[in-house]
């Protein structure tokens, strides 16, 4: 009897424990399952991240290669153009070129009073050209220095040739925009001997800087005749000579006067220097 009671008690206890366990499982298993699934998911993600994250490799610095030194270019010698500016007496060759043209037989100036001046100048093409003038020996050094200074600033002068290349015809020389000096002649439309006849005057870019004035009858005198479009001095032209420009200032600094400042007649191409002439 006692054993039966004990058996029943033990059985009842076991049933109670089993029932309690079932109740607890029903109550807490969903939370446990969710937590486990979350942990498993996080673990999987961590493993995946570890797989796809590239392993950082140390940056290798490139080996330093010393650059091959570039050889210095061979310096190009710069020509000393000062040697292009010089003065000489009138040689036999030059005298032959000018005799009967710019230097007629009745010229009232001795050939010994004239000098040949060799110069260099920048042309309208931007290139360097040779030029030559004949001037009075009293201004020869001034003329050489003037053209050296014009060359230094690359002042453009189209041509500098002896007027004898035009048979000493002043109009032809000016129409070709030739800059020149000596020519034994009178002033245009006058019987007065020009300062060009004594080698004391120089005309610069004459086509663009004409000699112009109104005659007494109201008509216009113009030289050269093909310079009509350059009579208007208010126009913008790089070859015009104007007061206080480079060409003007250089000539004035050497004691020359400018025909563009004359009253009445205007000779924009013309620079001259007064000296005491021999009687």
Domain ranges of the chain: 81-272
pTM of the full predicted structure?
0.72
CB contact at 8 A, 98 and 164: yes
Task: Quote the radius of gyration of the chain (alpha carbons, Å).
Answer: 52
Question: What three-state secondary structure class fits 83?
Answer: helix
Tens digit of each residue's pLDDT, the chain (279 residues): 556 555 655 566 665 666 555 555 555 555 545 555 555 545 544 554 444 444 445 555 545 445 555 566 665 555 789 999 999 999 999 999 999 999 999 999 999 999 999 999 999 999 999 999 999 999 999 999 999 999 999 999 999 999 999 999 999 999 999 999 999 999 999 999 999 999 999 999 999 999 999 999 999 999 999 999 999 999 999 999 999 999 999 999 999 999 999 998 999 999 999 997 665
């Amino acid at each position: 009897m006692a054993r039966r009671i004990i058996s029943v008690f033990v059985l009842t206890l076991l049933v109670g424990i089993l029932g309690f366990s079932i109740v607890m499982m029903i109550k807490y298993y969903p939370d446990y399952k969710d937590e486990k699934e979350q942990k498993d998911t996080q673990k999987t993600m961590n493993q995946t991240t570890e797989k796809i994250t590239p392993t950082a490799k140390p940056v290798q610095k490139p080996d330093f290669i010393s650059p091959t030194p570039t050889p210095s270019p061979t310096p190009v010698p710069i020509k000393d153009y000062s040697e292009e500016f010089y003065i000489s007496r009138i040689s036999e060759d030059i005298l032959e070129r000018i005799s009967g043209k710019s230097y007629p037989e009745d010229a009232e100036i001795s050939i010994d009073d004239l000098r040949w001046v060799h110069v260099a100048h920048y042309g309208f093409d931007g290139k360097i050209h040779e030029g030559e003038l004949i001037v009075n020996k009293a201004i020869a050094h001034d003329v050489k220095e003037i053209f050296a200074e014009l060359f230094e600033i690359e002042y453009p002068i189209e041509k500098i040739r002896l007027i004898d290349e035009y048979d000493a015809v002043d109009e032809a020389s000016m129409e070709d925009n030739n800059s020149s000096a000596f020519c034994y002649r009178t002033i245009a439309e006058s019987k007065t001997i020009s300062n060009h006849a004594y080698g004391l005057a120089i005309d610069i870019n004459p086509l663009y800087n004409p000699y112009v004035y109104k005659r007494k009858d109201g008509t216009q005198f113009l030289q050269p005749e093909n310079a009509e479009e350059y009579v208007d001095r208010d126009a913008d032209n790089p070859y015009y000579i104007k007061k206080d420009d480079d060409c003007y200032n250089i000539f004035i600094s050497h004691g020359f006067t400018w025909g563009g400042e004359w009253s009445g007649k205007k000779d924009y191409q013309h620079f001259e220097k007064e000296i005491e002439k021999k009687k």
